[in-house]
Chain A
Amino acid sequence: MKIQKAGYQGLYFPDLKVAVDAHHPDADYVFVSHAHADHMPRNRSSKAYASKATIDLMRHRGFKGEGHALDFGETVESDRFKAKIYPAGHILGSAMIYLESDKESLLYTGDFRTPPSPATEGFEAPDQVDILITEATFSLPIYRWKTNDELAEEVRSFASNTLAEHYTPVFLAYNLGKAQEIMHLVAPLDQTVMIHGAGYKMCPVYDENGINLGKYEAYDRETCEGNILICPSSAFSNGFASNVSKKRIAYCSGWASNESRRTQLTVDKLIALSDHLDFFELIDFCKQLSPKKVYITHTPNPAVVKHYLSKEKIDAGHIDIEMNEED
């Protein structure tokens, strides 16, 4: 099957006239894996197929095109292909896109995490595909995550210990996905969370989808002290909660596993909470689907992944798509 790059971060399959995560002028269908900015088509004329939550989140983030909401497992058919979306466990609404032609089957993972984030619809995948196009953000064996339970405990105890010492806990986390996962994890503490305005706007979609975000409000500079605070690192360096002197800061990201982030960001705690799967999970996932060919995208180290896949006798190639450092 022919694969071409499209837009910033997306792909186009000319045989199927399908684009994923990008607008393409010749595409009959555009599938969107999830609502992070780098995967969302920007074009007003785009007809986007995605999960209902993704369409809703895209609307909140200014998507003006035509949206077609799909249920997970629901089939879309054209004369060239059959398509289905699988829950990807990355953020709410995130989906892997499965395409099947007469000749072969293909899975485009978008961003994914397995075991899934607890603030998502879960994770599911087909048993087998011919072509696997997978992201590989954390593509080195230095990346192995703790279990979801251990991470939840780390997040909760950081918040409760900090509050117990009369300090204000601040989580540095991306506005969509990571922020809501942290809210979901600290909800049992029954403390008010104040979240940065841009993230706050996304929360109703989580509520509608039955994800418990606990007690939350939009960030208010005057009253934020003593609450659990969440904001992206960019907002933090621009004065978020700068009036609160007694605060402790936790940076939550897969990149937090690198010690150098501590001094780069001057934070008190690094929590390696990623919304991507780790290296070992990635290699296992590729093996499980026994594909004829794997294409790796969104990766800083394609050679390492190819090396490990070749040890498993899996043929692999690289599609050079810029990765988003924001994770």
Chain B
Amino acid sequence: MNTENFNFYTLCKVIQTIRQTRSTNSKIRIFAEYLRRLKSDHDLHLAAQFTAEGAFEEISGKRASVGSRTSGLAAAKFCEIDYDLVFKPCRTATGSSSETIERLMNNIPEAIEKRDPKNLSLEQVDEIFDRLYTVSSRADKEKILWETWQRMTPVEIKYFIRMLGQGSLRIGFETRSVVSSIAKAFKLDREDVRYAHMITGSIGKTAILAKHNQLEEARFKLFHPLSFMLASPIESRAVNNIEDYIAEEKFDGMRAQVHVHGDEIKIYSRDLNDITRSFPDIISFFRERQLPPTVFDGEICVYKDDTILPFQLLQKRMGIKKPGKKVLDKYPVLFIAYDLLFTNRKPIFDLKLPERRTLLEELAEEYHLPTSVQFEISSDDDIDRLFKRALEHGNEGLMLKHKESNYEYGQRRKSWLKVKKPGGSFDTVIMYAHAGSGKRGGTYSDFTLGISVKDDERYEEEFIPIGKAYGGYTDDELRKINQKVKELTVERYGPTLGLIPELVVEIEFDDIQVNKRTKAGYTMRLPRFKAIRWDLGPSDTNTLRDVENFYQQKIENEPLSQIENPSFSFSTSSDQS
């Protein structure tokens, strides 16, 4: 066919077909075929980017800042329907704002009249995304949305909105599948494409390099964060040769990547966001040392009086963009390095762990940097002993790292294993049920959980919320909960149901944190369903006092000082002046 038209509509139809296809291999084949037929490099770049990353390149850090409320309100106006009365129930029924808008655009006569599809090119849509980024007021954004939708079909509008959200399009086709499609389209090795993507951080650029068979041009750059290597829980993997691993304590802090070159220093969080401004103390720490170009992987911990303090205290630093002197004095932090990714002007993630380690130790000695202490292990007894010690230090547990491993950026395999203490669990009562979205659209899948304050003179209520959980149950359990929820419903607030507090569930969590904005004053970290307790009634739930006790024990559990048998080494005797 010579009439092939590679506009935005064609891309959306391909995406929709992928959505409707079940097998991952078929999805990859469909997208590979499409990518191969694209003629211009620019179209190839945009098609790959729109599908895998969204409206903007991930590395650009740009956001359209068009939330689901903005697009929902704009769509309601466009369709001339009432937002609260009509749009919201439609969204609850579908579980998806963009799907709702697609269908209303397709169905409502007032919307059909306004639309006159113009077959926008990928480049035109890219310009629209950029304009949405440039303007800041909601009115300006709404105006651009309105003018764009006038020129689109419903399916284009749906995916246009999803792309604005950045990240996954929720079509069962994630970045790694796009990487596979690029490899397939241009008959290249998947690993090579993945490497190039990792290094460039851009799926669009990767696609173009792949097309021209120039993947080797992709090079790691300083001040572009690299995806972190991740650890699997030790329970999930069969480990045979424990002596092939070395152990480190798993610090109770925040994972971070530090890029340094003299005065220029950047800190990236695990989700690759730039968090430099939150940690001026780490910046001045590195500035004093004037390092050559280097990239470290490590942990930020609150460190005071030779002691690593609980993550709960680090939290008080995390939200603050520009911490003042008081906060800096009260919660001083330290960056403890445990891996080295770039040194001597080249990336070294292809080196084995011991070689990277040697280079890291050389740097640490020369520039006086804190680094983790490594322990040889040969038996489960060693693990138990070190694990206990790590907990005494106030750390989370152990990391086991395979000696023969490269730095497997962006991967979670068995080269790194984590040994963690289980958090705890509480028996709670379901107070509210919330309609799910996406895959769980049309069912109640998120639940607000209550604990008892019946005998607590500080509260009038019987139960107050302690958190929200939306996972850990089986499909069958969810169905049973939904049946029960129907019986217990007494109030309805849009997508939320108020329930008679009767259904007791055991909730497991990693930790308890203070959260002043909640009624209880505490929240659970990573709450998930452990069991539905049909055998228990609402009078059997845990109380707020139980939660407070749990937290207090955690805080008062005095971490061992780092002066003897430390979990990291740090010589402060500075002789560089």
B-binding residues in A (CB < 8 A): 140-144, 255, 257-264, 266, 268-269, 279-280, 300-301, 303-304, 307
Contacts and interface: CB of A to CB of B under 8 A. Distances in A.
Which of B22, B93, B438 is the most central at the interface, judged by chain A CB atoms within 10 Å of its CB?
B93
A260 B94 contact: yes
A312 B439 CA distance: 36
Given A262-B19, A264-B440, 4 more contacts: A141-B108, A260-B439, A262-B20, A279-B107
B99 A259 contact: yes
B107 A141 contact: yes
B441 A304 contact: no
Contacts of B106: 144
Given A140-B93, A142-B100, A263-B439, A303 B85 contact: yes
Contacts of A304: 85-86, 89
10 contacts: A140-B93, A141-B81, A142-B90, A142-B104, A258-B93, A258-B441, A259-B96, A260-B438, A262-B20, A307-B85
A194 B442 CA distance: 31
Given A144-B107, A258-B441, A258-B442, A266 B90 contact: no
B442 A140 contact: no
B421 to A, nearest CB: 35
Contact of B442 (A260, A268, A269): A260
Interface string B331-361: 0000000000000000000000000000000
B382 interface: no
Interface in B350-404: none
Interface residues of B, number: 27
A269 B93 contact: no
B440 A260 contact: yes
Contacts of A301: 89, 93
Contacts of B114: none
Nearest to B88: A304
Contacts of A303: 85, 89
Contacts of A259: 19, 94, 96, 99, 441
Given A142-B90, A260-B95, A304-B86, A268 B104 contact: no
Interface in B72-92: 81-82, 85-86, 89-90
B103 interface: yes
A95 to B, nearest CB: 29
Contacts of B81: 141
A307 B107 CA distance: 17
Contacts of B19: 259, 262
Contacts of A143: 107
A261 B99 CA distance: 13
A144 B85 CA distance: 19
A259 B442 CA distance: 10
A260 B441 contact: yes
Nearest to B95: A260
A301 B494 CA distance: 11
Contacts of A262: 19-20
Nearest to A322: B486
Nearest to A268: B22
Contacts of A279: 107
Q: Which 4 A-B pairs have the closest CB atoms?
A: A260-B441, A144-B107, A142-B103, A263-B439
A249 to B, nearest CB: 9
Contacts of A280: 107
Contact of A307 (B82, B90, B103, B443): B82
Contacts of B439: 260, 263-264
A142 B22 contact: no
Contacts of B108: 141
Nearest to B99: A259
Interface string B429-460: 00000000011111100000000000000000
Contact of B104 (A141, A264, A269): A141
A144 B172 CA distance: 26
Nearest to A325: B442
Given A264-B442, A266-B22, A141 B94 contact: no
Contacts of B107: 141-144, 279-280
B438 to A, nearest CB: 7
Contacts of B96: 259-260
Contacts of B82: 307
A255 B95 CA distance: 13
B76 to A, nearest CB: 11
Contacts of A269: 20
B169 to A, nearest CB: 12
Contacts of B442: 255, 258, 260-261, 264
Nearest to B103: A142
Contacts of A307: 82, 85-86
Interface string B283-309: 000000000000000000000000000
B81 to A, nearest CB: 7
B426 to A, nearest CB: 30
Contacts of B100: 142
A307 B90 CA distance: 14
Contact of A142 (B20, B85, B93, B443): B93
A73 B95 CA distance: 43
Contacts of B90: 140-142
A304 B89 CA distance: 8
Nearest to A307: B85
B575 to A, nearest CB: 62
Nearest to A140: B90
A142 B95 CA distance: 12
A258 B104 CA distance: 13
Contacts of B22: 266, 268
Interface in B89-125: 89-90, 93-96, 99-100, 103-104, 106-108
A266 B172 CA distance: 12
Contacts of A260: 94-96, 438-442
A281 to B, nearest CB: 12
Nearest to A306: B85
A303 B82 CA distance: 12
A141 B86 contact: yes
Contacts of A300: 93
Nearest to B81: A141
A264 B106 CA distance: 24
Nearest to A249: B22
Contacts of B443: 264
A60 to B, nearest CB: 29
Contacts of B441: 258-260
Nearest to B439: A263
